Amino acid sequence: AYAPLYASLRRTTVLLLLGLGFAMLASLLIGRRVARPVRILRQGATRIGAGELHHRIDIRTGDELQALAEAFNHMATQLQESYASLEQRVEERTRELTEALEQQTAISEILQVISNSPTDVQPVLDTVAERAVQLCDADDTVILRTEGGDLQPVAHYGPIPVPESRNLLTYDQLIGRAVRDRQTIHVHGLAAKPDTESAAARALPQPAGTLLATPLLREGGPIGVMVVRRLAVRPFLDKQIALVKTFADQAVIAIENVRLFRELQDRTRDLSRSVEELQALGEVGQAVSSTLDLQQVLTTIVARAVPLAGASGGVVYEYDEVSKAFYLRATHGAEMEIMQTLQAEPIRLGEGAIGHAAATQAPVQLSDIPDEKMPVLAREQSVFARSGYRALLAVPLLLEKQIMGGLIIWRQEPGRFPSAVVNLLQAFASQSTLAIQNARLFREIEARGVELEIASKHKSQFLANMSHELRTPMNAILGYTELILADIYGQVPARIREVLERVQLSGQHLLSLINAVLDLSKIEAGRLTLSLTAYSMQDVVSTVVASVESLATEKQLALQSHVPPDLPLAHGDERRISQVLLNLVGNAIKFTAAGEVSVQVTVEDDWFTVAVSDTGPGISEADQQKIFEQFQQAETSRPPLQGGTGLGLSIAKRIVEMHGGRMWVESSLGQGSTFRFTLPVRVEGQPEVA
């Protein structure tokens, strides 16, 4: 009964086992088919991730695994392309940076050469040409400078020949156009251009070539051109053209630096020379103004002129108007033979270089003495030639066309002296003229002074003699008049007495004039001496005031004196001091119409100061110095009809100075006057008076 069941179970079990076997077989087959592509995918992803971007995953299952593999392959391709592009950009950037570094290095090198060569532009131009060839991948570079209408090669680097023609501005179209138009010219394929008539192009090997010409511009003006050439037809890149322009600018900087440096050197040299010339002229001017020694001044002049003029020696002549000849006065750097020859005999006007210069009143130059055809003395020409001197410059010394002398310099180098030297020598000639004129004027003044001194002595002697001769009879007249008025010879009628009194008054006035003239003549002749004794200044003032008191009373003037009672006993010429004070007080009373006259004495540091003041009309500033001169009086303030000879103040001032003191006046118009004089308390000897 259970057989069918068991049979069914057996069938079911067999089927299950078969199904399980088939399932296991199917799973095994399916697992192998899926695992292999996954393994390949995993391995490929690992390799791609490791950087093998060229690796590709090969799965052809036709399902999602194949799609995933293709996605990995596409990603690897993109990464490979990105890396390649990045590497290219990095390589390009590296190359650009390398080129920029090379350019900056080249520019720095050129700048270094510029700084190391401030006076020489050639090293800079040579470096610029070499670096242009190296950095622009060119075959040669040539730099040309403008000279008038031509171009002259000044630097070249490379194997291509340099055009020999200088007239490239007009002959060479390309280079000339770059200079004329002030623009860069870039031409390639020169041989294929039938209109190219360029010496630079013809220098390139046929059949091809490339040329780049950049002008050198200074402040917009062309001073040259820089030409870079290639043998091949290969245009220059923009950055290469820009670099060539930079090099051209640096060449201009170098050229300009050298030009400015040389100008600065020339200017400094000119300024130094000007300073030396001014110093020399200052020394000469000081010598002219500080001494009248003509020999010393002329020696200083020629000694300073010779080195400044770049000469070997020189001489100064003085012209004598009487003999019409030049005489040697000073030399510098002249050999003995030359000096003996020049001193042997005077040079006549019109003879030799200096005589000819004076006759024409213009500088004379001898550029080659041995072969000179101008008027030259044979003895001068031979001695200079034997001494090896070739060039000579003679400048006349003129004072308003009057010949004063001549200045000559010479040197061993032949040729004419430059105009600057001629001008300098003329400046020294002017100083020499001034020195000679000063010496002549001094000699004339000296001679006139001697004559005036002799005449003054004669005049003083005459005045002294005449005064003495006049005073003797005048004393007799006054003596007899006084005796008659004293009734010695009997009673004198009143009418005759009045006449005799006028005679006596006039005689006394005349005698005072004679005494004044006699004192003046003695002072001028140096024959007036002081009689030094002890005296009292208080007594001197009292005596003078008492003697003029009646005059002050007659004019209703207050006469006052202020003398300290403790004045020291003095030592001097009492009579002459009284004469001085009497003159001052008398003048004050004479010229004062109303008011007062006062005398004041003070003492300080062993010196008396005596002041005589009045309330008169005052003295103008212009007259205050004049009144102390002989025969001079104040004109603007002196009342009319006051009289006077103008000798009193002059004599009084000289007497005070003979005591070692001084006299002056303090006054202004309408404010009165104060005359002051100082005296040493003790005068032990008669001081010398100028």
Contact 396, 429 (CB under 8 A): yes
CATH number at 581 reads 3.30.565.10
653 lies in some domain: yes
343 lies in some domain: yes
Q: Whole-prediction pTM value?
A: 0.44
pLDDT < 50 stretches in the chain: 169, 171, 192, 195, 203-208, 636-638, 640-641, 690
Beta partners for 677?
610, 663
pLDDT digits (tens, 9 = 90+) for 649-689: 888 898 899 899 999 999 888 889 999 999 999 988 766 55
Long-range contacts, 512-518 (Cβ 8 Å, 24+): 513/645, 514/467, 514/470, 514/471, 514/474, 515/467, 515/471, 516/645, 516/647, 516/648, 516/651, 517/463, 517/466, 517/467, 517/647, 518/463, 518/464, 518/467, 518/468, 518/471
Assess whether 295 and 248 both reside in one domain: no
Render the burial of 56-88: b for 16+ CB within 10 Å, e for the rest: bbebebeeebbebbeebbeebeeeeeeeeeeee
4 lies in some domain: no
pLDDT digits (tens, 9 = 90+) for 354-394: 888 888 889 988 888 887 766 556 567 788 888 889 899 98
420 lies in some domain: yes
Q: Tokens 């200052």 belong to which residue?
A: 282
CATH number at 133 reads 3.30.450.40
Beta partners for 408?
315, 394
613 lies in some domain: yes
Region of 401 please: left (phi>0), alpha (psi -120 to 50) or beta.
Answer: left
98 lies in some domain: no
pLDDT value of position 171: 42
What number of other Cβ atoms are within 10 A of residue 666's Cβ?
Answer: 14
Distance CA 675, CA 473 (A): 36
Assess whether 258 and 312 both reside in one domain: no
Assess whether 539 and 676 both reside in one domain: yes
Under DSSP, the state recorded for 616 is: S
Under DSSP, the state recorded for 360 is: H
Strands 596-604 and 607-614: antiparallel
Dihedral Cα 586, 590, 592, 593, nearest 10 deg? 140
What is the tally of structural domains in the chain? 3
Provide the domain limits for residue 386. Answer: 278-434
Assess whether 226 and 352 both reside in one domain: no
Q: What Å distances lie between residue 475 and 266, 460, 470, 507, CA to CA?
A: 89, 22, 9, 9
pLDDT value of position 511: 67
Domain boundary (414, 434, 454) is at 434
From the list 182, 176, 186, the residue with the least C-alpha distance to 212 is 186
pLDDT value of position 339: 86
DSSP codes joined into one string, 630-684: TT---SSSPPTT----S-HHHHHHHHHHHTT--EEEEE-TTS-EEEEEEEESB--
Q: Tokens 């010394």 belong to which residue?
A: 397
Contact 133, 273 (CB under 8 A): no
Assess whether 282 and 428 both reside in one domain: yes
Determine the straight-line distance between the first and last CA of the chain, rounded to whole angstroms. Answer: 192
Strands 325-332 and 313-320: antiparallel
- What the block records as the tokens of 499 is 């006449």
Q: How remote is the C-alpha of 650 from its chain's centroid?
A: 51
Beta partners for 571?
534, 682
SS3 320: strand
Assess whether 293 and 230 both reside in one domain: no
Domain boundary (263, 295, 329) is at 263
pLDDT value of position 559: 92
pLDDT value of position 471: 65
Under DSSP, the state recorded for 216 is: E
103 lies in some domain: no
Assess whether 367 and 338 both reside in one domain: yes
Assess whether 159 and 256 both reside in one domain: yes
Q: How remote is the C-alpha of 344 from its chain's centroid?
A: 44
Assess whether 605 and 635 both reside in one domain: yes
Domain boundary (263, 288, 315) is at 263
Q: What Å distances lie between residue 171 and 156, 164, 183, 197, 611, CA to CA?
A: 20, 12, 18, 8, 103
From the list 368, 460, 440, 457, the residue with the least C-alpha distance to 411 is 368
107 lies in some domain: no
Assess whether 291 and 425 both reside in one domain: yes
Under DSSP, the state recorded for 236 is: P
- What the block records as the tokens of 526 is 């140096």
Assess whether 164 and 218 both reside in one domain: yes
ω before 4 within 30° of 0 (cis)? Answer: no
Q: What Å distances lie between residue 375 and 311, 334, 354, 659, CA to CA?
A: 22, 22, 10, 68
Assess whether 241 and 375 both reside in one domain: no
pLDDT value of position 570: 93
Average pLDDT, the chain: 79
Residues with Cβ within 8 Å of residue 66, at least 6 apart in sequence: 37, 59, 60
